[in-house]
Amino acid sequence: MQNEYSEYAKVFKAFCDETRLMVLSLLQSGEKCACVLLEKVNVGQPTLSHHMKILVDSGVVYARKQGKWTHYSLNKEILVDLDDYIEKLICCENHEKL
């Protein structure tokens, strides 16, 4: 099974972990650098870095390097796609292939 579902499954994986959900929520108010995120989240620095990698690889978050810092922000386009995906599920029995 190597289809479009595995693509979406990968994106949804970004949302499967509470630390990552918290990061996404923090990014909702705008771009943040890793050190700011680290203050708010209850994990160590290597663990946060691991989660940020998952978020970036899934496409949900952008990384922008500037000097020593890495600034993260939401990729709102992919969030709109996810929103559409879920809306199609909600939309009343229209028999359209997802």
Partner DNA sequence: TGATCATATTGAATGAAATCGATATGAGGT
Partner DNA sequence: ACCTCATATCGATTTCATTCAATATGATCA
Nearer of residues 52 and 60 to DNA, judged by Cβ: 52
Of residues 72, 84, 78, the one with CA closest to residue 32: 72
The partner residues of 73 in beta bridges, in order of sequence, read 62
Stretch that binds a second copy, among 32-40, 49-57, 64-72, 79-87 (CB under 8 A): 79-87
According to DSSP, the residues that pair with 70 across neighbouring strands are: 65
Q: Which is nearer to DNA, 30 or 91 (CB)?
A: 30
74 binds a second copy (CB under 8 A): yes
Binding site for DNA (CB under 7 A): 13, 16-17, 19, 33-35, 38, 43-47, 49-54, 63, 67-70
CB 13 within 8 A of CB 58: yes
As a whole number of angstroms, the longest Cα–Cα distance in the chain is: 51
Q: Which does 39 bind (CB under 5 to 8 A by kind): a second copy, DNA, none?
A: none
